[in-house]
Amino acid sequence: MGEQPIFTTRAHVFQIDPSTKKNWVPASKQAVTVSYFYDVTRNSYRIISVDGAKVIINSTITPNMTFTKTSQKFGQWADSRANTVFGLGFSSEQQLTKFAEKFQEVKEAARLARDKSQEKIETSSNHSQVSSVNGTDDEKASHVGPADAQLKSENDKLKIALTQSAANVKKWEMELQTLRESNARLTTALQESAASLEQWKRQFSICRDENDRLRNKIDELEEQCSEINREKERNTQLKRRIEELESELREKETELKDLRKQSEIIPQLMSECEYVSEKLEAAERDNQNLEDKVRSLKTDIEESKYRQRHLKVELKSFLEVLDGKIDDLHDFRRGLSKLGSDNQ
């Protein structure tokens, strides 16, 4: 209806707690748009902020208002019509300074508009008094001077202004009705939003329960997967153990084959051993006989020195040969004994 934004910024909106009048209550969950609006028809200024479908600031600026900086990034002002105190938290000190400067400009413009409106009202009141004292406009016209003509002209202008004011009043009434209808629609929308919010809460609760159930199921499946992985690892270890045992079994089979081959050779070795033992016994018997002969020869040597010397030479040769054979027999016997012990 002719109302246009003249300055816009973003800030966190707060309102004073109506119960304590000390603590701040957040009116918005996050930074929202805060704008100055100028109404051409009413010649008024407002600060308006909307969070979604909710109007959180609707404050008409009057000359009596004061914007106060309470910190480097926070400012506030009191609105007696709304019976509250608004607070704005900005992201920087520069934004707060610009908003405060604009507030001062708008406040001064509202004061000028009020003074101008009072002047018009006073002028209209004075003209009405002049009209009541001097008679009707037609009577004044019958004996008017230049001053009376000027008063008539101003009176006509005032009438036009009053007519326009009446039209503006009707327009404001229509705008008020529109705002009431908008508020009603907003109230209905808020109620629907609240109902939807409750429904979403119920659905969220159901989804959360379902999510918890699925999370528990996932935990169970993960535990089962862990058990399967552990079982797979055990199976892998068992497979490796089986392969090792199979390798050892193949080695044992190879050793068994070698032992079987050796067992086939053992009878032949045993027969050879028996043959060598028989030869050894025969050699021992021969050795015994030779020793008997030696003793006999020694007796014969004593009987004859000449024969003894001759026999000593022969005996010495014979003994050397005999000792070599005896050593060979002993070595052969030790070899057989060692072979027998190795085959056992």
Kindly report the backbone phi and psi dihedral angles of residue 14, in degrees, each rounded to the nearest multiple of 5, phi listed first: -130, 155
Lowest-confidence pick of 118-122, 244-248, 278-282: 118-122
Please name the residue ranges forming H helices in 53-145: 93-134, 137-142
Tell me, what's the pLDDT at 175? 62
Q: Is residue 87 within 8 Å of residue 75, measured between CB atoms?
A: yes
Side chain identity at residue 220, one-letter code = E
Check: CB of residue 42 under 8 Å from CB of residue 116.
no
| 75 in Cβ contact with 95 (< 8 Å) | no
CA distance 104 to 48: 16
Q: Which two tokens mark 34? A: 């805060």
Instruction: Tell me the C-alpha distance between 335 and 102, whole Å.
Output: 126
The residue among 268, 292, 276, 291 whose CA lies nearest residue 328 is 276
- Delimit the domains of the chain by residue range: 5-117
How many of the other CB atoms lie within 10 Å of CB of 92?
Answer: 10
Cα–Cα distance for residue pair 334/249, rounded to 1 Å: 38
- pLDDT(13) > 90: yes
| Res 94: pLDDT | 94
Query: Residue type for 330, please?
Result: H
Quick: pLDDT tens for 229-240. 898 888 889 889
Confidence of residue 133 (pLDDT cuts 50, 70, 90): very low
Worst-scoring range by mean pLDDT, 9-13, 152-156, 217-221, 241-245?
Answer: 152-156
Using the predicted structure, report yes or no on whether residue 316 has a pLDDT greater than 80: yes
Compute how many other C-beta atoms are within 10 angstroms of the C-beta atom of residue 201: 10
- As a whole number, mean pLDDT of residues 153-175 equals 63
Does residue 31 contact residue 11 with C-beta atoms inside 8 Å?
yes
pLDDT band for position 274 (cuts 50, 70, 90): confident
- Pick the more confident residue, 267 or 139: 267
Q: What is the mean pLDDT of the chain?
A: 80
pLDDT single digits (tens) 83-103: 899 999 999 999 999 999 999
The DSSP symbol for 169 reads: H
Fold entry, domain 5-117:
PH-domain like (2.30.29)
Residues 211-231: pLDDT tens digits? 788 788 868 878 887 887 898
